[in-house]
Amino acid sequence: MTLSPGAPRTPGPAEICQQVLDLVGDRAEAQVTSQQGRPALTRFANSFIHQNVGEAGVSVNLKVALPDGRVATASTTRADSAGLAALVEGALAAAALRPVDPDWPGLAPPATVPEVDHYDPATEAATPDERARRVRAFVDAGPGLRAAGYCDTDGGTTAFANSAGQRAEGRSTRATIDGIHQTDDSAGSGHATATRLADLDATGVGAAAADRALRSQAAADIGPGEYEVVLEPECVSTILIFLGFYGFNAKQVIEGQSGIRLGESQFDRAVSIWDDATAPAALGVAFDADGTPKRRLELVQAGVSSALALDRRTARKMGTESTGHAVPESDAYGPIPSNLFLGPADPAFGAGTSDLIASTARGLLVTTFNYCRILDPKTQVVTGLTRNGTFLIEDGKVRGGVKNLRFTQSFIEALGPGNVLGISREARFADSEFGPGLVHCPALRLGSWRFTGGVRG
């Protein structure tokens, strides 16, 4: 019995890409991305596995540009000859009916894609029993508590081809254990993501979650206001996701909606932010949806906003080169950095996470944020709540849990000059509410954070 029922019949992604290009022929310029993967996710709640899913599938995304610059995209999960033919004819027919795209940047030229090692065959082939063992370990790490979360594995091959001769192919895997332990009046979370399932310490992650849940019991109700904060990596990850999507996204800048101003010291000089799909610690493949090779991109250097994420379309508009940040939805959303890192501009600035707490006279330790939404992209004012462990710090010590608070805070100002008081040396993949593996970051100590409401509103 096989768990990958599509495998024997479906050609590989590179072969699918070539088939699609052959079908298009000389009728149009074309670029094709095909992904073949075996994502599987084991979900648990009330300390038992209640949802457990897997799939074997392939996706094909095609963009065609007619000689006069009329462009259309199409996608399918049908990789048989009839499905691919329908994909091609549908895209060509759609392109013929639309106006000329004045911003069509043309296809990516042939270029070498960096070699990266972000793949583990054992993780791609992981069985439901292997995921269930991690779940059991997480649950058992919190005896007497209620556990909920997931363990997933995702792996596969991505191929790109275009009619200008660019070819790229890469394999990647990711494994995550993420969850909470709950008491009757508290919850605490833990998270780990890695290229290899074998590298996940489910017991350790579960124990961290249980510890946070137990320490935040009988939480105190404190009033809203400005507080110094120590933000765990999950919170920092959320900040970076918003900065990437609404700030360093070149489409947002072109449209006047971004608050990022290149060359200005918009951030604390202690902070550097970069995007790097080629880093050993990163996940995924080293080319984007346009087929452009990825490279390290310095977004903030010692507090100075220094670069934007670009795809071919925005690069053309700005008269520069793509940085390799196209995603399948770039035409609508713009280029998105998805291998984000934050670290101290000066390595000597780093401190232990316990030191960040020890140096705080009075403030809050926040584990995760919840349901963050932007009020205005230009100011990056975001509202959201704390979740899964919020603690009062007094005289350098964690005194106990406090009830969740709502904040309304500009994320640019949060990392602004003078507000970053500490950066932890330890960094790891942290999960925002937008998915795992996108951000690798430390904890931060910030001088001020605006909480605008408590549990009573």
Partner 1 sequence: MFDPAVAAVEGALAAGAEYADARVVVSRRQHLEAQNETIETLEQSESAGVGVRALIGSSWGFFATAEFEEARQAGEAAAAIARASSTVPGPPLSLADVPVREDSYETPHDEDPFAVSLAEKADLVVGVTKTMQAVDGVALARAILTAWDTEKYFVSSQGHRISQHLVECGGGIDAIAVGEAETQRRSYPQSFGQYQTGGYEVIRRFDLPGHAERVASEAVALLTAPECPEATTDLVLESSQLALQIHESVGHAIELDRILGWEAAFAGTSFLELPRLGSLAYGSALMNITADATLPGALGTFGYDDEGTPAQRVDIVKDGRWVGVLSGRDSAALANLPPGGMVRGDGYNRLPMVRMTNVGLLPGESSLDEIIAATEEGILMATNRSWSIDDKRLNFQFGCEIAWEIRNGSLGRMLKNPTYTGITPQFWGSLDMLAGGGEWIHWGVPNCGKGQPMQTARTGHSAAPARFRGVRVGVKG
Q: Please identify, using beta-carbon distances, which residue of 217 and 257 lies nearer to partner 1.
A: 257
Count, residues near partner 1 per rule CB under 8 A: 102
What is the distance between the terminal CA atoms of the chain, rounded to a whole angstrom? 55
Element (H, E) at 233: helix 233-242
Cα gap 356→360, rounded to integer Å: 7
* Binding test (CB under 8 A) with partner 1, winner from 21, 45, 122, 279: 45
Stretch that binds partner 1, among 11-19, 228-236, 251-259, 282-290 (CB under 8 A): 251-259
313 SS3 class? helix
Would you state the structure tokens that stand for residue 39, as one six-digit string?
């994502």
Q: How far is the CB of 114 from partner 1 (least distance, A)?
A: 29
- Residue 297 φ/ψ, nearest 5 degrees: -125, 120
User: Is residue 316 within the footprint of partner 1 (CB under 8 A)?
Assistant: no
Position 325: which residue type? H
HSE of 231 in the Cβ direction (CA atoms, 13 Å)?
31
User: Is residue 41 within the footprint of partner 1 (CB under 8 A)?
Assistant: yes
User: Is residue 73 within the footprint of partner 1 (CB under 8 A)?
Assistant: yes
Q: How far is the CB of 131 from partner 1 (least distance, A)?
A: 7
User: Is residue 82 within the footprint of partner 1 (CB under 8 A)?
Assistant: no
Q: Which residues pair with 36 in a beta bridge?
A: 58, 157
User: Is residue 257 within the footprint of partner 1 (CB under 8 A)?
Assistant: yes
* Binding test (CB under 8 A) with partner 1, winner from 81, 98, 198, 399: 98
User: Is residue 384 within the footprint of partner 1 (CB under 8 A)?
Assistant: yes
Stretch that binds partner 1, among 67-75, 166-174, 268-276, 419-427 (CB under 8 A): 67-75
Q: How far is the CB of 371 from partner 1 (least distance, A)?
A: 5
**What track of x and - describes contact with partner 1 for positions 321 through 350 (by CB under 8 A)?**
----------xx------------------
HSE of 3 in the Cβ direction (CA atoms, 13 Å)?
13
For 312, counting Cβ atoms within 10 Å of its Cβ (0-12 exposed, 13-18 middle, 19+ buried), the class is buried
Cα gap 37→56, rounded to integer Å: 6
Considering only residues 148 to 207 of the shown chain, the ones binding partner 1 according to CB under 8 A are 148-150, 152, 178-180, 182, 187, 189
Element (H, E) at 448: strand 435-453
User: Is residue 87 within the footprint of partner 1 (CB under 8 A)?
Assistant: yes
User: Is residue 278 within the footprint of partner 1 (CB under 8 A)?
Assistant: no
